[in-house]
Every structure is written in C-alpha cells, then in structure tokens.
A and B are shown apart, each in its own frame.
Chain A
Amino acid sequence: MHGSLKCNDARDAAAEAPGAREGVRPPGYLQRLRIAPPWALLLLTFLTGCPLAENYTDEAGPRYSGDHREPGTVASEAPASITVVTFNLSFAEKVTEAITALSRPPLAGADVIAMQEMDAASVDRIASELGLAYVYYPASVQVDDDDFGNALLSRWPIVADRKVHLPHDDPYHQRRRIAVLATLDIGGTLVQTASVHNATPIVGLGGRLDQAEAIIDAMEGTGPVQVIAGDFNTSDPGSLRQMVKLFSGRDFQWASEGVGDTVDSVIGGLPLDFVFAQGLAPLERGVDRRPAGSDHHPVWVRFAWPP
C-alpha cells in the first residue's frame, strides 16, 4: 500500500538548484519563474526517473526459515477446523503490537499466518513469540534499508517452500514483487499456501491481474487444497471485482468475501487483503479492526477440517 517517497528527491533537488539562489535576475525572470517550475519539474522527472529499487532477483533466495514450535505441543491429530490469517504489517515497524493482536481472539491459535512487508528479524520474533514455524523471502530492500518481503508462519510443519517472482516491476522504481509459497502438512494432509503482495496501482490493473495469475499458475497441479492470502492492492475502482473474477475463473473461492474494508487510509476504508481458497469450506471470517501495529487490519478465515 505504501509507495516510496524517493521521487520527491528530484523536486527537492530542483528547488535547491544553484541558479535558484543567484541574486541578479534578468528582466522577465519572475514571469518565467511562475511558468517554468511545473514543466521543468516534469521534464526533470522524465529525464531522471526515480531511484531504482534494489531487488533480490535470485530465483531461490535469500531465504530465511525457522521452527519455534515447542516439541510436544504440535498437534499430531487432525484439527476440527483451521484458521488462516493474512496481515500486512506495514514495514514491520510495530512488531510488539502485531504479536499482541495475533495472540488474542479471534487470531490467537491461527494455523497459518501470511504476512507482508516483513523483514527477517521481525518474522523470526513473531514466530518465536507465537511458537510457529516460518519461511520468509525478501523481495527487495525498502527505503529504510530494511528488507521487504513475504512470510508464511504455521503451527504445522512446512515441508516445502519457494519464492515466485511476479511479473511487471513497478514503472517508477522497477521494484519487484514476489509471492512465497509453502506446503504445509496438516495432520497428514498437504495444503498449498501462498503469501501474496501485489504491486500498488502504480502498476496498471492488467499488470496486477497478471501477478495474481502467476501465483495461481505456480500453484496449479500441486494439490487439491490451496490457500492464497495476502495484500492484492485492489484500491482502484473496479480492481476488486476483476481480481475476484480472475480467481473464480480458476476455481478459487473468495473465502474472505464480505469482511469489508481491510485498510484505513486518508480516502477512507479500502478492501485490499483477501483469502482465496480451493478445496476448503469457510465456516467463519472477519477482520480484526482493533489496533494491530499497521494501517492494514488482519483478515481471518476459519475453514472446516478435514477438507
């Protein structure tokens, strides 16, 4: 949801250009000054572009994983239901608040947590506090020099995982987006999961639909039970409808349908975070709107089990 502010650097540089501080001006200067800046800034922006993102383009990494589940507490029998949460933690700046939110009902005891805008240390801390296994892949380095990526945390063993590079780097920074895929063993049933963070509307809707389809394609044929959860950045008009239509056309159910807005923004509430599922029947769903350390609210869905 957040965009980099680095493009402002160009405007700042233009405002501080040496010529702007000279004392003697030719006649007509003031008139030109009033006309020139917008066009000069536009030209400057065209010519210089924006600072390029530092992406992790490696196919397999960097990869971080851990298992903080307490020996003996891991369920050996199949549960009566499983709960999936998706939560964009907004640059992972308020981890303590997030842990508090994830430790109270209805999020407490979640079987799977898909997280976005994370760095490795924050993921490890959350997994450690909640007693979960995790896998985390950063997609790029963010403006604060922290890594920026997706994680999947699970009460159940993670038996396989991988990173999927999404098409269409953003046109201003060339920032790459990824999805993190993991196979979970839930009481002997393999569940394919994905933590998604699509590009913002800086990338056109066609590009973001391609990103979602790349994830569906990557999971196709991996098993009958699949969950795709994350921040789909569907803030622009009509994008939610087309995103849901894409998933429906590929036999995914919008499991979190009807939960409402998931982000508070300056223009009001926005529906950005979703859970889509295949082979699972949702029983309950909701958004925990209490403060959780992010502008996004955690979205949860409880599915019947076994599938």
Chain B
Amino acid sequence: MMRGFGIRALWVGGTLALAPGCLSGARNIGAATTPVGTTEVGVSLNALAFERGREQAYLPSPELSFRKGAGDNWDWGGRLTLLGLELGTRHRLIEEPRWTWSVAPSAGVWYVPVTNNFTEPVNLRLGAQTLLDYRLSRAWTLTGGASLTGAFAGPLTAFQGRFNGANLLLSPGGSLGIGFRLSPSFEVRAEGGLEFPLGLRGGSRPPTGHAGLTFRWSRADRR
C-alpha cells in the first residue's frame, strides 16, 4: 500500500514539476494599459483544461507575467513559464469614463511535454486579443476578451526540416475576468476562458480552457 502511495506521489510530484510545460491560453490582463514609467509584475495560479487522450484533463499551471508602460496608449509585456514565453503589446483604442477597449497582439513559443496529446510538443503561436474593460466601481473592473490565435504545433524534428506530425491550428477563444484593486499598486484578477482549436488538417479538436487567479503589483520605474 505504501509502495502504491509512493508511486502516485512520485507521479503527482513529477507532473507538478512539469506543469510549466503546459500550453496555456490564460492571459490574465485587462484592457487598461500600464502607464508610462510603470512596471507591473504578476503571479498567476491557473487551472488548465486540455485534451488528454479522448477525454478532458485538468492541471495546475503557475505563470509569471509582466507589463511595462511604453506610451500614452500602449504597453508591452509577456508571460513566462519554465518552458514557454509569450511577448506582446497592448494598444488602447478607446477610453471612456466607464470603459476601455484595447487590442493585444502577441507571439509566443512553448515547449509543452505535458499537455501534448499527439506529437506536437513545440508550439509557436501568433495571435491577438481584444479586451473590453467595464468599470463597475473604483475597485472592481469587469473584462471581456475575444481572441484569435494561429499556431504551428509540431515535433522537435521540425527544426531539422522534418514536419511529420506537425499541424497548423487556428484557435478562436473568449475570456471573462474580474479585477479588484486592493490598493493603487496591487490588483487581484480572476479569469476564465476557453479556446476552440481547429486543425487546418483534421478538423476541430476539443476545447481547452483555463481558470485562475492573478496577483499583480505595479511600481514606478526608477529614473
């Protein structure tokens, strides 16, 4: 019995250790851009739903993120896992007293041994998200998002020119989040979202999803 427990514990431990090698669609941002001269750093604790075999599976996935104000209406930033990096910009298009509308293009490279269901541990993603913030009060902000991401998903041998097992995917998706500002420099954000991957060969795949909490701190840059 102890041996069985030990094996299970080893599996769980190993899975958690590799959890950063998961493909995650969680962006965990709102529409409001980071002000110039300010840097935001976030820690996210997400749960991922993904295709495993012919069923859905669920895994925890921690992520780090950052944003840096670059102009009056735009910032740049990214999110980082042990085996994945996504970088992008966010552009504020419309700002009204109650709401803000932005678009956020991004590009990422991911090595995903854990959530790979076939032979595609390497993922290169290029996409954009449109975000709409609706401010419920000074502290609470509701964020709706819609995204469209194109991805190359393939084997490591793609770097040698061997593409057997590679796929091109198009993933429309949506997210809903709510942010609560605890102080001018600290925000907590909850977000859930879905993506609906479509293989350009092989048709649709089961949806993937995420839900999680993000803790985000901001601070003025030193001059």
Contacts and interface: CB of A to CB of B under 8 A. Distances in A.
Given A49-B156, A171-B156, A206 B52 contact: yes
A35 to B, nearest CB: 15
Nearest to B116: A204
Given A49-B159, A242-B55, A268-B6, A168 B11 contact: no
Contacts of A173: 157
A205 B113 CA distance: 11
A237 B7 CA distance: 11
Interface string B103-122: 00000000100001111111
A172 B157 contact: yes
A8 interface: no
Contact of B10 (A172, A267, A269): A267
A188 interface: no
A48 interface: yes
B54 interface: yes
A227 interface: no
Contact of A238 (B3, B52, B122, B165): B52
A267 B155 contact: no
Given A46-B156, A52-B157, A268 B54 contact: no
B57 interface: yes
A172 B155 contact: yes
A206 B156 contact: no
Interface in A156-194: 168-174
B86 interface: no
A239 B119 CA distance: 16
B117 A205 contact: yes
A97 B63 CA distance: 50
A205 B120 CA distance: 12
Contacts of B187: none
A96 interface: no
A203 B118 contact: yes
B53 to A, nearest CB: 4
A209 interface: yes
Interface string A41-55: 010011111101000
B31 to A, nearest CB: 33
Chain B interface helix/strand/loop/mixed: mixed
Given A172-B157, A239-B53, A268 B119 contact: no
B84 to A, nearest CB: 11
B165 A171 contact: yes
A109 interface: no
A168 B117 contact: no
Contacts of A106: none
A242 B157 contact: no
A267 B7 contact: yes
Interface string A233-244: 000011100100
A66 interface: no
B160 interface: yes
Contacts of B219: none
Contacts of A48: 159-160
A237 B114 CA distance: 12
A242 B119 CA distance: 18
Contacts of B55: 238, 242
B53 A206 contact: yes
Contacts of A268: 3-4, 6-7, 10
A120 B170 CA distance: 45
A242 B117 CA distance: 13
A248 to B, nearest CB: 13
B204 interface: no
B7 A242 contact: no
A206 B157 contact: no
Given A172-B156, A172-B157, A204 B7 contact: no
Interface of B: 3-4, 6-7, 10-11, 15, 51-55, 57, 83, 111, 116-122, 154-160, 162, 164-165
Interface of A: 42, 45-50, 52, 168-174, 203-207, 209-210, 237-239, 242, 246, 267-269
24 contacts: A42-B111, A46-B159, A49-B160, A49-B162, A52-B157, A168-B165, A170-B155, A171-B116, A171-B121, A171-B157, A171-B165, A172-B157, A174-B155, A174-B157, A204-B120, A205-B52, A206-B118, A207-B117, A238-B52, A242-B53, A242-B54, A267-B10, A268-B7, A269-B7
Given A205-B117, A238-B55, A268-B10, 14 more contacts: A42-B83, A46-B122, A46-B159, A49-B156, A50-B157, A52-B157, A170-B119, A171-B119, A171-B157, A204-B117, A205-B53, A207-B117, A238-B53, A268-B3
